[in-house]
Amino acid sequence: MHIPDGYLSPSTCATLYVGAAVGWYSALRRLKRVLFTRVVPLISVFAAFSFVVMMFNLPLPGGTTGHALGVTIAAIVLGPSGAILALSIAIAIQALFFGDGGISTLGANCFNMAIAGSLVAYASYRVVAAGSAITSKRRVVAAAVAGYLAVNASALLAATEFGIQPVLFHDAGGTPLYAPYPLSIAIPAMMIGHLTFAGLAEAVISAGLVAYLQAADPGLLRGTSGLALESAPTDLRPGTRSLQPLWLAIAVLMLLTPLGILAAGTAWGEWSPSELAHAAPPAAVSSAPTPAAPAGLQRLSNLWTAPFPAYAPTFVRSRGFGYLLSAMFGVGLMLALSLFVRRLLDRNRRKGYAS
């Protein structure tokens, strides 16, 4: 899932660098507040650990093998901020020193695997394991579920990034300039492999690790368990909440982005006027065999174009634009959802203290 240079257009890369930067910045800020001197070696060694775990050639049921990402166990032991940094460092080392994954796509890779992966893993682990004892079997299941979901969320993001390339970036003759497959091909192609092997590999290794830690080193699981945090031995406690307003603001902004774009239709300066003229991104692409997958996305994009038919310039109804809107809306929705889950968890925890 490490996207190499050349698959994504420069503007996609730039956008995802910005997205990743938001994650890095808030993770770094949050950790600095905790105890930075302690965090430096912990994150570094954990990054090295996930790097090594990515090299494990895991045997899977059915005789195949797969690789894990190590993002789930990082999220379970370090919490989301620590995991975001550790995984990003591991991904950067792979790109900078081992040539695995691109330089221009570093932001995209970190966004997909380190940031989205950590957040999804952390949220699903907390939800499934909520309230269970440290040594409970439910935590092992929670780790497996978290691993499976995290890897598939990352893969879905990568597939979406691939899939929007041919719609947005092609030359006058309709030749796609970057990754050539539309969403209808990119998503199934990526997801089949990840729903089966890669997701399973992460689930297996995460569950195995949590089971091992329960027996050998349960202290490492306490930090993110949501139980009696006061006695947690690690310094990396979740729960410094002052960044929540920032995230909330970002979520709201992203949910509103489609409106902003509709209002200022000319923001898409990247398209030359001639391209805009036959803008319904060109006949070539729309005549491509695009069954099944985009239906849902189209419905979503209709959701947004429908209320504003009078204001929307005609090209807004184009498929490419619809994809983009739905993507932004989707990310905003994800953010809002994760904030909601967190608030729910916090409330439960407070209730736990009270009783």
Partner 1 sequence: MSRGFIESTTVGFARALTGTMLSEQTARQRGLLQALDPRVRVVGLFALVLAVTLSRKIVVVAALLAVAIAIALLSRVSLLTLAKRVWLIVLGFTGVIALPALFTTPGRTMATVAGFAVSEQGLRTASLLILRVETAVTFTTLLILCTPWAQVLKALRSLRLPKEVVMMLAMTYRYVFLLVETATQMFESRRSRTVGVLNSNEQRHLAGRTAGVLLSKSVALSNDVYLAMQSRGFRGDVQILSDFRMTSSDYLGLLAFLLVGALAVWTGR
What whole-number distance in Å separates Cα of residue 263 and Cα of residue 261? 5
What whole-number distance in Å separates Cα of residue 80 and Cα of residue 192? 27
**Contact call for residue 91 and partner 1 (CB under 8 A):** no
From 6-14, 144-152, 250-258, 260-268, give the range in contact with partner 1 by CB under 8 A: 6-14
Within 8 A by CB and 6+ apart from 329, the residues are: 254, 255, 257, 258, 300, 304
**Contact call for residue 61 and partner 1 (CB under 8 A):** yes
Which residue lies nearer to partner 1 by CB, 75 or 316?
A: 75
**Contact call for residue 18 and partner 1 (CB under 8 A):** no
Q: Contacting partner 1 (CB under 8 A), which of 128, 174, 196, 333?
A: 174
Closest separation in Å from C-beta 291 to partner 1: 12
Q: Contacting partner 1 (CB under 8 A), which of 33, 59, 292, 350?
A: 59
Q: Contacting partner 1 (CB under 8 A), which of 216, 264, 310, 354?
A: 216
Owner of token pair 């849902």: 296
From 4-12, 241-249, 306-314, 332-340, give the range in contact with partner 1 by CB under 8 A: 4-12
CB 9 within 8 A of CB 166: no
Q: For 66, phi and psi rounded to 5 degrees?
A: -155, 170
From 167-175, 241-249, 292-300, 309-317, give the range in contact with partner 1 by CB under 8 A: 167-175
Q: For 105, phi and psi rounded to 5 degrees?
A: -95, 10
Q: For 28, phi and psi rounded to 5 degrees?
A: -65, -45
Closest separation in Å from C-beta 245 to partner 1: 24
What whole-number distance in Å separates Cα of residue 323 and Cα of residue 294? 9
**Contact call for residue 158 and partner 1 (CB under 8 A):** no
**Contact call for residue 213 and partner 1 (CB under 8 A):** yes
Q: Contacting partner 1 (CB under 8 A), which of 177, 246, 292, 337?
A: 177
Which residue lies nearer to partner 1 by CB, 251 or 279?
A: 279
Q: Which positions from 246 to 285 touch partner 1 by CB under 8 A, shown as an x/- string?
A: --------------------------------------xx
Owner of token pair 């991104």: 281
Which residue lies nearer to partner 1 by CB, 304 or 323?
A: 323
Tokens of 86: 């550790």
What's the angle, vertex CA 116, arms to CA 57 and CA 79, rounded to 5?
A: 85
From 151-159, 179-187, 302-310, 335-343, give the range in contact with partner 1 by CB under 8 A: 179-187
What whole-number distance in Å separates Cα of residue 257 and Cα of residue 284? 28
- Exposure class string for 317-346: b at 16+ Cβ within 10 A, else e: bbbbbbbbbbbbbbbbebbbebeeebeebe
Q: Contacting partner 1 (CB under 8 A), which of 89, 113, 150, 261?
A: 89
**Contact call for residue 69 and partner 1 (CB under 8 A):** no
Which of positions 99-128 make contact with partner 1 (CB under 8 A)?
99, 102-104
The DSSP-derived string for 12-34 is HHHHHHHHHHHHHHHHHHHHHHH
Amino acid in the structure at residue 321? F
Which of positions 217-236 make contact with partner 1 (CB under 8 A)?
217, 220
Number of residues located near partner 1, criterion CB under 8 A: 77
What whole-number distance in Å separates Cα of residue 237 and Cα of residue 227? 11
